[in-house]
Amino acid sequence: MKEKVVLAYSGGLDTTAIIPWLKEHFDYDVICCCINCGQGEELDGLEERAKLSGASKLYIEDVVDEFCDDFIVPCVQAGAVYENKYLLGTSMARPAIAKKLVEVARKENAVAICHGATGKGNDQIRFELGIKALAPDIKIIAPWRMTDIWTMQSREDEIEYCKQHGIDLPFSADSSYSRDRNLWHISHEGLELEDPANEPNYDHLLVLGVSPEKAPEEGEYVTMTFEKGVPTSVNGKNMKVSEIITELNALGGKHGIGIVDIVENRVVGMKSRGVYETPGGTILMEAHNQLEELVLDRATMEVKKDMGNKFAQIVYEGKWFTPLREAVQAFVESTQQYVTGEVKFKLYKGNIIKAGTTSPYSLYSESLASFTTGELYDHHDADGFITLFGLPLKVRAMKLAEIEKNNK
């Protein structure tokens, strides 16, 4: 009986070509596993394609709700944004995929897991760190790094290889953007984006929405509610998180929200340029931030900002299944106890404009914030506070003045 390998299968040209390659070079029984994180129509026709390509079985595992509840929500609560712009759409999905690949491998008694990530990107790290953490005994096969036996270097090479193995599928050799899509976002790399000097061709590039210039001339109000940092409704309708993100994607895409052009620092050391569309995620993150402004005290917000940056780095580097991620997440979850309330905002041509936030746990006091501060705040108290708060500055200035005087 042949040994089994589980292939992370997208149905694209790369992973389709890997099926006969695995059989030819390792004589494996290939089990394809496609993890549905919200790719939409990309999943159509996968079973027939996998079987035609030589796979003995195809799993299509729906993890959309798990992806939203267990991976997206913690990142939203943390305010995890990599290098100030990237909302971690691909990064968050990889540990969810790795977890399911391991589950299928265990079920099938597979000896190996194979992925189609290149040797230049971050995904190889994210997949493999997840697999190592969950199944250290399972072998990992990364064809693009095995240049002695993986000799294909282009789409044309892969198409020809497939044809030589009796696989004649409607793949095109035309150049196109390299994309990754799930419920949270879609990323675009390649073509004109490879040169940071070029402006993105948004008319050709965008998938989830329109550019701000093409958004409606009239803004649209949206109301959201949160319970302990978890979104619970949009415009008065209670929904689970995956439904909320779907609804926000439609609203955000319509109004040109969440389009980011970034040159980021990959884990492997190089810079890469990409355009990310995250319409619903951008709205969700901003709404959550607006509510936190109201309910978190200054000291907690200060530390939480640092923890959010650390959480983003952890997720970006593929270190989800680590004690550090669990510890940082535990801190973040403790800050969410009172992040409950309603957020209203207006979407208009790429902008999310505040329109009012309320919470039963709001720390905002109108009597304190107004110019007539009442009994809780005496203006004279500021004298002593500023004297003590500024004491180190004053002492330093006095010392420098003394030194300068003595040196004359």
Amino acid identity of residue 169, one-letter, is: L
Stretch 163-183: mean pLDDT, rounded?
Answer: 88
Lowest mean pLDDT among 121-135, 166-180, 246-260: 166-180
Q: What is the overall mean pLDDT for the chain?
A: 95
What is residue 372's predicted lDDT score, i.e. its pLDDT?
63
Domain ranges for the chain, please list them: 4-164, 178-296+339-358, 367-406
Separation between Cα atoms, residue 104 and residue 31, nearest integer Å: 9
Stretch 255-264: mean pLDDT, rounded?
Answer: 98
CATH, range 178-296+339-358: 3.90.1260.10
Element containing residue 352 per DSSP (H, E) = strand 351-358
Which listed CATH number (3.30.9.10, 3.40.50.620, 3.40.50.300, 3.40.50.1360) goes with 4-164?
3.40.50.620
Nearest by Cα to 20 from 33, 5, 34, 35: 5
For 357-372, write each residue's pLDDT tens digit.
999 999 998 777 666 6
Separation between Cα atoms, residue 98 and residue 330, nearest integer Å: 22
Nearest by Cα to 274 from 90, 97, 117, 92: 90
What is residue 52's predicted lDDT score, i.e. its pLDDT?
92
Separation between Cα atoms, residue 144 and residue 70, nearest integer Å: 30
Phi-psi category of 8—alpha, beta or left, where left has phi over 0 and alpha has psi -120 to 50?
A: beta
Choice among 49, 94, 181, 273 that is catalytic: 94
Whether 272 sits among the annotated catalytic residues: the reply is no
Backbone angles phi, psi at 309, to 5 degrees: -65, -40
Question: Is 379 buried (19+), middle (13-18) or exposed (0-12) by CB count in 10 A?
Answer: exposed
Cβ atoms 90, 188 nearer than 8 A: no
What is residue 373's predicted lDDT score, i.e. its pLDDT?
57
**Per-residue confidence band for 374, with pLDDT thresholds at 50, 70 and 90:** low
**Per-residue confidence band for 129, with pLDDT thresholds at 50, 70 and 90:** very high
What is residue 371's predicted lDDT score, i.e. its pLDDT?
63
Do domains 4-164 and 178-296+339-358 share one topology? The answer is no
Whether 123 sits among the annotated catalytic residues: the reply is yes
Per-residue b/e over 53-89, b at no fewer than 16 CB within 10 Å? Answer: bbbbbbbebebbebbbeebbbbbbbbbbbbeeebbbb
Stretch 19-42: mean pLDDT, rounded?
Answer: 95
What is residue 376's predicted lDDT score, i.e. its pLDDT?
77
Nearest by Cα to 37 from 75, 7, 65, 57: 65
Residue percentage of the chain with pLDDT more than 90: 90
Whether 14 sits among the annotated catalytic residues: the reply is yes
What is residue 41's predicted lDDT score, i.e. its pLDDT?
82
**Per-residue confidence band for 306, with pLDDT thresholds at 50, 70 and 90:** very high
CA 91-40-6 angle, to 5 degrees, is 60
What is residue 161's predicted lDDT score, i.e. its pLDDT?
95
Stretch 269-283: mean pLDDT, rounded?
Answer: 98
Which CA distances in Å does 110 have to 28, 30, 144, 331, 357?
10, 9, 21, 37, 52
**Per-residue confidence band for 280, with pLDDT thresholds at 50, 70 and 90:** very high
Nearest by Cα to 22 from 49, 47, 56, 48: 56
Choice among 14, 126, 187, 359 that is catalytic: 14
What is residue 379's predicted lDDT score, i.e. its pLDDT?
85
State yes or no: pLDDT of 51 exceeds 70: yes
Separation between Cα atoms, residue 332 and residue 311, nearest integer Å: 9
The predicted model scores a pTM of 0.94
* Cβ count near 266 (within 10 Å): 14
Choice among 178, 211, 233, 362 that is catalytic: 178
Separation between Cα atoms, residue 404 and residue 398, nearest integer Å: 10
Choice among 91, 123, 181, 359 that is catalytic: 123
State yes or no: pLDDT of 181 exceeds 90: yes
Question: Is 30 buried (19+), middle (13-18) or exposed (0-12) by CB count in 10 A?
Answer: buried
